[in-house]
Structure 1
Amino acid sequence: MSEEKSAVPAWEQRFRAARVSLPDWAEDAPDRALYVSNATGTYEVYAWDRATGTHRRVTDRPNGTTDAELSPDGAWVWWFDDHDGDEFGVWRRQPFAGGPDEEAVPGLAPSYSAGLALGRDGTVVVGRSTDEHGTTLHLRRPGAAEPVEIYRHEEYGGVGDLSHDATLLAIDHTEHGDAMHSAIRVVRITADAVETVAELDEVTGRDEPRGVACLGFAPVEGDTRLLVAHQRTGRWEPMIWDVATGAETALPLRDEQGRELPGDVSAQWRPGAAELLVEHEYEARSELFTYTLADGRLTRLETPRGTVGGATARPDGTVEYLWSSAAEPSAVRSTAGAVVLRAPGPVPPASVPVEDVWVDGPGGRVHALVQRPRTAGPGPYPTVFEIHGGPTHHDSDAFAAGPAAWLDHGFAVVRVNYRGSTGYGQAWTDALHERVGLIELEDIAAVREWAVSSGLADPRRLVLTGGSWGGYLTLLGLGVQPDSWSLGVAAVPVADYHAAYADEMEALKSLDRTLFGGTPEEVPERFTASSPLTYVERVRVPVYISAGVNDPRCPIRQIDNYVERLEQLGKPHEVYRYDAGHGSLVVEERIKQLRLEIDFVRRHLGVPGGSTGGAG
């Protein structure tokens, strides 16, 4: 390592080091693949010709690009073109080998994306979401100049999948008004009509709603089997549904000792449709299996302990997967034993492994992931509670540059999989109804009490921070639990829930109606009780807020409302606004944001600079 390189702090090296996503390959041209990388300093889409080893950048935009898909024959790269991160745009396409971009489906106005399906015969289905029309799906048949609308509903939905022969389309929808539990409708596409052939709805008319979601049609000509995720057992599991006959085939997944797999289970078809690739998530980690349909045999695929951030089964029988742990950076690996794809340049410095902690909370045992700084003695430490977004998401044993940066500066890091998180069963995920935000804070408070009483955390130097839903919980926590925290650092948060609902994208309005049991007009007291603005007078510590001015998820006006009230009350605060959406895809911008956050925390807590080297 050169002197110039070694002078760069390890935390900045982790952000600047190039990384890649799991490559997605064309079904009929498996040597043609797409992935996303930050190799140029901005996250963009890349085409990879595996036969020649050629890599080519497809997109080049100031604020980056991440949404892209290959046509089944590998001839075209489709990518979603929004404006400066506002997620509102149109699909464009470019030849795989390079060439000018063109509007992929002329005649469709800009919208939020609600999915895309590309058929082998040229059939295209585009999902769109707008505030005016809700969800609409548009079909363009081979040779047609203009798309036609085939579906419309005010509630959120989207494109599921096209069958292998492009005659059947699966639609994920929430027409019943429950955005947390979707249903599936399958329609047949003919020359002159679109007709419904099957419905799978586990919500309508049920006391305990269960969600179902499309995982994909069998990749075989004429096969009418659809792989479906369901919650009939109180957790996500796969099953096979023949949409032509209505037959449902349960998949009794058992490990080597004959035990059911705990946690959530997903699956995808392997080429030929005789086997499934199964991904199992449990207690913040994941593993892979192959399931043979003929004999129901589940075979474990050897992966290191950590998190699989996506996997794909190749035609040659191997499985490629994106893997990392909290201590080790990510790479695309193969069950053949090799690293398939690693970004150019140096590997990011390693970080600190996580410890698993279970704490008794008011709604059950709460799982937290804890990391201790290696160079700061036995503790107690200044501690960052970094709260994940979603809320239907979870923190995992995966490599993350943000927590690693706090560790380098001498902080312990605690991440809490509060009620609402995924991976712990449906009841845990669904627990947020009506008392939104307040429930999560109860779980965070239980872990905070453990962190202080165990000697891990210094109660005088506790930082509550997070982005998106985590930013929302940060601002809410500073007002609801004013004596518990020393500082708050909120990125792209919900700050004024009434104004947020009015301005946010339609898909999130649908989620909020489900979480709160209605609109702000219908249940104003619930929105008020869960809004950080309601408790801003009680905030006692300095607050740092960062926000994207083009954010459609946590819009800027409602953040400005909160900041204006802080100013009126004379509360100490700092605000950073940047020209992007719900976060930034530009590496230097991400570094700038975290540098500002670290500087804010160190100034207010009096914490000296931490290690600038690796984890050791």
Structure 2
Amino acid sequence: MSAAPAPAAGEERPAPGYRVHRPALPEVCPRDPALMVLTGDAGGRCEVFAVDARTGRARQVTDRPRGTLHCAIDADAAVWWFEEDEDGLGRWCFQDFHGGPVRPGLTGPSPGAPRGLAVVGDGTVAVGLGDRRGLTVHLGRRGGEGRPVLRVEGHAVLAGVSPDARLLAVTGTAASERAVAVHTAGGEAAAVLSGRDGGLWALGFAPGAGEAELLLVRQDGDRYVPATWRADGGVRLHRWCSFDTEITARWYPRGRRILVRQDRHGRSRLFTADLDRRTLAPVPVPPGSVLDAAPRPDGEVHYLWTDTATPPRAYSASGAALPAVDVPPVRVPGRHTELWTPGPDGEVHTLLSLPEHPARPPLVLLVHGGPADHDRDAYDPVVHSLVASGFAVARVNYRGSTGYGPRWRAAYGEGVGLTQVADLAAVRADVLARGLADPGAVGLWGTSWGGYLVLLALGTRPGLWRAGVAVKPLADCATAHRTGTPALRALDEALFGGTPEQVPDRYARSSPVRYAHRVRAPLLMAAATRDVKCPPEQVRTYLAALRASGVRHEEMWLDSGHDGYLGSDHVAVLRRALGFLDRELRGPGRAADHDSPHRQGRGKDRPPQSAAGDR
């Protein structure tokens, strides 16, 4: 919430005025809310900063060649961060807020992927570390030896520790028999909660003394309902507080109150729910998206707000002035509107951004990932760059997206991926029928699952597109399942109804590599050599199929993982993609000036109720 400090001496920014921004509020020390940690820009990398709100001073805590993203602060004002290698494996470290020696959070555990960190008031630390087979939870005193207390096979994440450090909560696949499990500090099972009747997600234990109480969200028919679990009473649904679209929530620091954030039709709502009084009160926010929201010890609510034309800004619900998030004072040019396109399971919602000129510009469908995610009425530097360069941008919340209710999220009637491609094609036709874009210059751009849909659309409906950009995509479904993480294998099996060995035809029918020989539009493929979510092996298989069929394409390989923290990588992809689309959709000699925004880099804002392991 303060300006990101200047880069370290001798460091060079990847481009003039370019910075990395992660849209999230700072983490606040429970005992002294003036002490905060956040990730900010350090010469085009994400790094961790400690901020003292009383003095306005910021201290750069980490300085690593590939950047640092995960951070936290505990009640004793120790600053935590995850120190990972180029493959995403590592350990948690900590340091006193004002500096001093760097120490391992727990000694003993082997390096793993970050799958949860919890530090309670007495200095007890629980660390979740993942590997290719599952999760191990280690417990110990801060800086001391960590002992493994729990092993969970398959997808699982440590969701929290009770304030007395006697209970651990682990969340797994939301719709499974073991959606949430509560264990004692010794590893014994205290409760196993099923999500088979819709879905169940754990959001953490209530702070403070007293009976341990775990906050949950349950899908209850066509609604999403906050719930709580106690050892003496089991799960209690608070149906008086139900919502028609996805929610997430967090405890207030005091009392049995929760702050609820609802994602609805590409925008956000905030509410305060008092669980004792059974009251629900809206927290006024402007139309747009709340990327992060946090209740403070004084009862105040701080939130990070944005819309398509406005970079994120921090606000207080009371109207009190807050330090500005370090973003450029710019607005995205053009006109920003929305479309609702008729479809077999209801209307498809699209966020449409149109440039000032020309009247019928080339159109880029910017396809979101997930699949359990959605495009928001929120600032996106890719949208900014495209609109400023004279492109129209359509962001389609196809079937399977969050923010439109359980039925929309579960609508896969035409098959995995193929359903979503049908929605992209329908929106394309709608935009063109309204005369809003050039019918001969329509392209696609997507990352991760969005890149998968780009490849599938190019192959299954080749006559509709003039160009495609796929960044770190899923390209061969069966290979990705075999080589992916436990979370992604669980996601695939839920979507396809089994493994590739059990339902091979379903995987093959939805796999882009099957249709590679049908692709006609030129493709820019940007992939990562250390990607564990969309592994490079299956990308190389797809590229080999393109070469065998003589399909014109370009390759761009990044020496990074799926979620890169280096601004230089993001801006390199942005520039390459803009140049590629300019050539393919406008032709030689028609290049526009690229009025790119000052910073680039998508933040991760995945509500806890979204399926863990989304691409």
- Identify whether the pair has TM-score above 0.5, normalized to the shorter chain: yes
Query: 1:293-345, CA deviations, whole angstroms, 9 ceiling, x for partnerless residues?
Result: 34323222221110000101111221111110001111221123245232447
Q: Is the contact made by 1:19 and 1:343 (CA closer than 8 Å) also made in structure 2?
A: no
1:477 maps to 2:457: yes
Question: For the structure 1 residues 382 and 457, does the alpha-carbon distance in structure 2 shift closer, same or farther, using more than 3 Å as the test?
Answer: same
Which residue number in structure 2 is paired with residue 119 of structure 1? 120
Q: Is the 8 A contact 2:448 2:534 kept in 1?
A: yes
Map of 1:257 onto structure 2:
none
Structure-2 separation of matches of 1:546 and 1:303: 37
| CA shift for structure 1 position 238 | 1.0
Is the alpha carbon distance of 1:436 and 1:320 closer, same or farther for their aligned partners in structure 2, counting shifts above 3 Å?
same
Does the 8 Å contact 1:352/1:371 carry over to 2? yes
1:238 aligns with 2:226: yes
Aligned 8 A contact 1:172 1:183 in 2: yes
Matching residue within 559, 572, 579 for 1:579: 559
Q: 1:347-379: CA deviations, max 9, x gaps?
A: 244344531211112332211111111232x32
**Against the structure 1 CA distance between its residues 235 and 110, is the aligned structure 2 distance closer, same or farther, given a 3 Å change threshold?**
farther
Residues 589 and 399 of structure 1: CA distance in aligned 2, closer, same or farther (over 3 Å): same
CA distance in 2, matches of 1:186, 1:547: 38
User: Quick check: 1:198 aligned with 2:191?
Assistant: yes
Structure 1 pair 105–19 and aligned structure 2 pair: CA distance change class (3 A): closer
Partners of 2:162 and 2:544 in 1: CA distance: 52
Question: Which among 41, 44, 47 is matched to residue 41 of structure 1?
Answer: 44
- One-letter amino acid of the structure 1 residue matched with residue 282 of structure 2: R
Between the two proteins, the alignment pairs up a number of residues equal to 581
Q: Which runs of 5+ in 2 are unaligned?
A: 1-14, 598-615
Instruction: Give the residue type in structure 1 aligned to 2:219.
Output: Q
1:249/1:220 Cα in 2 relative to 1: closer, same or farther (>3 Å)?
Answer: farther
Alpha-carbon offset, residue 13 of structure 1: 8.0
Partner of 1:428: 408
Look up the match of 1:310. 292
Aligned counterparts, 1:193-592, within 5 A = 193-203=186-196, 209-246=197-234, 248-253=236-241, 261-344=243-326, 346-352=328-334, 354-376=336-358, 378-379=359-360, 381-432=361-412, 435-592=415-572
Distance in 2 separating the partners of 1:529 and 1:355: 35
CA distance, structure 2, for counterparts of residue 549 and residue 182 of structure 1: 34
Contact 2:20/2:46, CA 8 A, preserved across alignment? no
* Equivalent in the alignment of 1:146: 145
- State the match for 2:73 in structure 1: 70
Amino acid at match of 2:179: A
Partner secondary structure for residue 374 of structure 1: coil
User: By how many angstroms is 1:197 displaced?
Assistant: 2.6
Query: Equivalents in 2 of 1:13, 1:429: separation in Å?
Result: 41
CA 15–490 in structure 1, closer or farther in 2 if over 3 Å, else same: farther
| One-letter identity of the residue aligned with 1:317 | G
Q: Deviations over 1:494-547 (max 9, x none)?
A: 112222222222221221122122222222211111111100110011010101
Q: What SS does the corresponding residue of 1:354 show, helix, strand or coil?
A: strand
How far 1:439 moved relative to its partner? Answer: 1.4
Q: Distance in 2 between matches of 1:65 and 1:536?
A: 37
Give how far 1:391 is off: 0.8
Contact 2:135-2:154 within 8 A present in 1 as well: yes
Q: In structure 2, what is the Cα distance between the partners aligned to 1:400 and 1:464?
A: 16
Alignment equivalent of 1:31, drawn from 19, 22, 34? 34
Residue identity in the other structure for 2:163: H
Letter in 2 for 1:506: P
Change over 3 Å in CA distance of 1:417–1:339 after alignment to 2: farther
Q: Counterparts of 2:58 and 2:137 in 1: how far apart (Å)? A: 33
Q: 1:139 deviation in Å?
A: 2.1
2:53 counterpart letter in structure 1: R
Alignment-mate amino acid for residue 96 of structure 1: F
* Structure 1 counterpart of 2:113, one-letter code: Y
| In 1: Cα distance, 2:382 partner to 2:32 partner | 37
Distance in 2 of aligned mates of 1:98 and 1:53 = 16
Q: Is the 8 A contact 1:349 1:614 kept in 2?
A: no
Q: Residues 143 and 558 (structure 1 numbering): CA distance in 2 closer, same or farther, change over 3 Å?
A: closer
Alignment match of 2:183 (pick from 183, 187, 211): 187
Distance 1:518-1:411 versus aligned 2 partners, 3 A rule: same
CA contact (8 A) 1:375 1:611 kept: no
CA distance in 2, matches of 1:351, 1:90: 43
Residue 119 (structure 2) pairs with residue 137 (structure 1): no
Amino acid at match of 1:117: A
Specify the alignment match of 1:3 in structure 2. Answer: none
C-alpha distance in 2 between matches for 1:345 and 1:252: 39
For 2:612, the equivalent position in structure 1 comes to none
- What SS does the aligned partner of 1:166 have? coil
Shift in Å at residue 266 of structure 1? 2.6
Deviates more, 1:305-314 or 1:448-457: 448-457
| Alpha carbons 1:227, 1:238 under 8 Å: kept | yes
Identity over aligned pairs, percent: 38
TM superposition score normalised by structure 2: 0.89
The separation in 2 between residues aligned to 1:513 and 1:346, in whole angstroms, is: 43
Aligned pair in 2 of structure 1 residues 566, 421: CA closer, same or farther (>3 Å)?
A: same
Distance in 2 (CA, whole Å) between partners of 1:79 and 1:525 is 43
Give the structure 2 partner of residue 8 of structure 1: none
Alpha carbons of structure 1 residues 476 and 13: separation in structure 2 relative to 1, 3 Å:
farther
**Does the 8 Å contact 2:363/2:437 carry over to 1?**
yes
8 A Cα contact 2:20 2:45, kept in partner = no
For residue 43 of structure 2, give the secondary structure of its aligned residue in structure 1. Answer: coil
| CA RMSD between the two structures | 2.4
Q: Tell me, in whole angstroms, the C-alpha distance in 1 between the residues paired with 2:309 and 2:134.
A: 43
Whether the 8 Å contact between 2:20 and 2:567 is mirrored in structure 1 is no
Q: Do the aligned residues in 1 keep the contact of 2:225 with 2:237 (CA within 8 Å)? A: no
Query: Contact conserved, 2:224 with 2:243, CA < 8 A, in 1?
Result: no
Distance 1:148 1:179, change over 3 A: farther
2:456·2:515 contact (CA, 8 Å) conserved in 1? yes
Instruction: Give the residue type in structure 1 aligned to 2:475.
Output: A
| Offset, 1:276 | 1.9
Aligned partners of 1:522, 1:107: CA distance in 2, in Å?
A: 39
User: What secondary structure sits across from 1:329 in the alignment?
Assistant: strand
Q: Distance in 1 between matches of 2:252 and 2:392?
A: 42
What is the alpha-carbon distance in structure 2 between the residues aligned to residue 210 and residue 395 of structure 1?
Answer: 23
CA distance in 2 between partners of 1:91 and 1:214 (Å): 22
TM-score (normalizing by structure 1) = 0.89
Gaps of 5+ in 1: 1-11, 204-208, 254-259
Output one character per residue of 1:448-470: Cα deviation in whole Å (capped at 9) or x when no partner. Answer: 12112111232210001100000
Distance 1:13 1:338 in 2: 33
C-alpha contact (below 8 Å) 1:47/1:55 kept by paired residues: yes
Q: Which amino acid aligns with 1:171?
A: V
1:385–1:414: 8 Å Cα contact kept in structure 2?
yes
**Alignment match, 1:171:** 170
